[in-house]
Amino acid sequence: MMNRFRLLVFISFALSSALAQETIQLSIMIGSSSGIDFVRDAANEYMRLHPEVAIEVLEGPARTDDLLAIYEDYFNSQEGVDILTLDVIWPGDMGDFMLDLYQFEGFSEAANEHFEAIIANNTTLEGELLAIPWFTDAGLLYYRTDLLEKYGFSDPPETWQELQSMAQVIQDGERVAGNEEFWGFVFQGREYEGLTVDALEWIASNEGGTFISSEGEVTVANPEAAEVLELVASWVDSISPPGVVDFSEEESRSVWQSGNAAFMRNWPYAYSLGNADDSAIAGKFAVAPLPAGEEGASVAGLGGWGLGIPNYSAHPEEAAAFALYLSSKAQQKQRAIAGSFAPTYPELYQDEEVLAAVPFFADFRTIVEHAVPRPSAVTSPNYAAVSRAIYRAVHTILIKERDAAEGLEVLAADLEAITGFPRVQP
């Protein structure tokens, strides 16, 4: 009897060891502002449905530049997480390190359901699908509805000049009322990728072009671009805090959500957070298209993220299957409702449950469809260097190290050297 018991124990141990060895270990890194809790919930549900898979969800940095540096280390060492969250600007620079998702089951059909422009312009390179869209983004103006009413404004500003004027009036009034920490406008002024997006919105909305044209021409050194950057630089320590030159999205949101700003430029994710129970501004704000120059039109910089599989993954098929699940319509709907992450499925912008949770999505589809991309496709595989040159040059203007005209001349020369493109007026 004892020998039989020992045999059963041995068989049970052997079976459990074999099952443990068969468990497929996957990992994914999520930027801290990309809704990591939603991903953990999705991973737990996926593991319940697929017990042969174990998924580790790692928290990465919030800033895209820091996340990119981690990925570059992965590519150099040929080891790291199995599923990468990819900014829309990266596929062109990462093509040599990513697998074509079209080789895996379900991706050809899934790709046809997303916004066509996102697939064509942001996740595909030379016919290969390097990322499946996960959520999209476009810059928005957040504004305090209660304060606009308090100070006699019926609508949000339509031009940058109107924003400056309204922000000053509200800031002055709130400080007289006792809030010395109140500011008119917060944005992303740090020396990083977010400043490239903000600068694109400012310059393009003032008819100053998009740094580099889609035809491969350096267009950034022009009077319209200089004019609007001089205006923005004048806001620092005026209607914007002096520390705005070190703000990323989260620093901007912190000031805004504490009730200490009248206006904020940010992405859609800040909407649900602003309406959370612990927010000082819950129910007191709305969103609108970004302002424009006096002779221009509103421009929203196109953002967004996808999911891709690096070529070093030991389990590419299983990693791809989880990426497909995470980017599915059902998952995107949940993230839209709970976190105001903008879906990449057009029909979700007509979904009653989504619109009940995030009313501005009714108009956001139009903003996304007309959003302006950064020049990542035309400068591939050198976009990272191009963007560094842009945000460093713009930062020197914001901190008043150079005036706008001089800073843009330096930038144009840098972009010519990086890309080899000719320089023209937009």
Per-residue pLDDT reduced to its tens digit, 221-257: 999 999 999 999 999 999 999 999 999 999 999 999 9
Do residues 368 and 114 lie in contact, with contact meaning Cβ atoms separated by under 8 Å? no
Using a 10 angstrom Cβ sphere, with 0-12 exposed, 13-18 middle and 19 or more buried, the burial of residue 72 is: middle
pLDDT of residue 69: 94
* Model confidence, pTM: 0.90
State residue 426's pLDDT score: 65
pLDDT tens-digit profile of 90-138? 998 999 999 999 999 999 999 999 998 888 877 988 899 999 999 999 9
Among 56-65, 218-227, 268-277, 396-405, the minimum mean pLDDT is found in: 56-65
DSSP structural state of residue 122: I
- Please tell me the distance from the alpha carbon of residue 54 to that of residue 44, in angstroms, as a whole number: 9
Ramachandran angles phi, psi of 133, nearest 5°: -60, 140
Average pLDDT over residues 57-86: 94
Q: What is the pLDDT of residue 12?
A: 43
Q: Is the pLDDT of residue 379 over 90?
A: yes
CA–CA separation, 296 and 420 (whole Å): 29
Contact 398, 189 (CB under 8 A): yes
φ, ψ at 300 (rounded to 5°): -110, 125
Determine the pLDDT at residue 1. 44
Strand order in the sheet with 302-308: 53-60, 24-31, 83-87, 302-308, 132-138
Beta strands in 294-382 (DSSP E): 302-308
Tokens of 231: 């205006």
pLDDT digits (tens, 9 = 90+) for 296-327: 999 999 999 999 999 999 999 999 999 999 99
> Taking the alpha carbons of 86, 65, 410, 401 in that order, is the dihedral positive or negative?
positive
The torsion angles phi and psi of 247, rounded to 5 degrees, stand at: -90, 135
Burial class (CB in 10 A: 0-12, 13-18, 19+), 105: exposed
Q: Which position has the token pair 């304060």? A: 147
- Greater confidence (63 vs 222) lies with 222
Structural element, H or E, at residue 261: strand 261-266
The pLDDT tens digits for 2-61 are 344 343 334 344 444 444 458 999 999 998 667 899 999 999 999 999 999 999 999 999
Confidence (pLDDT) at 338: 94
Helix (H), strand (E) at residue 58:
strand 53-60
Can you list the domains of the chain with their CATH numbers? Answer: 2-138+303-369 (3.40.190.10), 140-301+375-419 (3.40.190.10)
Residues above pLDDT 90, as percent of the chain: 87
Predicted local distance difference test score (pLDDT) of residue 176: 98
d(CA 309, CA 307): 7
